[in-house]
Amino acid sequence: MTTPRAEAHALDHLAEVADYAPPAPRQRLRGDAVCYARAVEHKEWPAMAEGKGSSAPSVWSRDFRATFKDLGPGSPTFGMLVAADDQRSLERQARMAESTPTIPNLIYWFMLVNLSVTVVGLGLCLPRKDNKGPLAALIIVTAPLTTTLLIIRDVDRPFGGVIVVKPTQMAEIEEESARDFLDDYAADLIPCDGQGLARPPGGGA
């Protein structure tokens, strides 16, 4: 799965392009990039385990576009920033699409119940005596079928199953972006808390 990695790369590219913007929008965009990454990692990722999204990252993506509007098409960096943000937006949409199960719960439970009824029916047909061979065969057949259903469900929910996709790349970009931001600005200028939620004006770090 490359979508989370691609989204993190697009966000990193946006932050890098922001370095070429004038001072005020540069600080604003770089701070927003840190907050977007935090919001995705701490708010949207847990929500995706349930096949849902979060509005937290959208706060910062809207502020990206507000900053672009303030820059205007006449800015040398306008086109590059818009292109980078478009790519980030596309990758986020793809990630959200992947978090939505393609197999409805009704169908999954229908398959599970159908398997259970079949196994029970076959079990009732087994002879009461000298049934070790047929019973072993039934178990051997049932185990992989059940495992297959569980694997299908897990793969269909990559952000909330047993083999879960973690926000590793986004966390790395958040750490890198925050570190770069703090090299140039004070910590209280990051416009969000550690969870990616906007801080009220005058709020502490």
The model's pLDDT over 39-88, given as tens digits with 9 standing for 90+, comes to: 999 999 999 888 788 999 999 999 999 999 999 998 999 999 999 999 99
The set of residues, in sequence order, having a beta carbon less than 8 Å from that of 89 and lying 6+ positions away, is: 61
Residue given tokens 């999954």 in the structure block: 108
Mean pLDDT of the chain: 87
Give the separation between CA 12 and CA 10, rounded to whole angstroms.
5
Report the helix count and the strand count for the chain, using DSSP H and E: 8, 0
| Cβ–Cβ < 8 Å for 30, 181 | yes
pTM greater than the 0.85 cutoff: no
Percent of the chain having pLDDT more than 70? Answer: 96
Residue given tokens 């691609």 in the structure block: 6
- Average pLDDT rounded to a whole number, residues 130-150: 79
Helix axes 168-184, 3-18, angle to 10 degrees: 10
Residue 192's SS3 state is: strand
Of residues 157 and 85, which shows the higher confidence score? Answer: 85
The set of residues, in sequence order, having a beta carbon less than 8 Å from that of 205 and lying 6+ positions away, is: 187, 188, 190
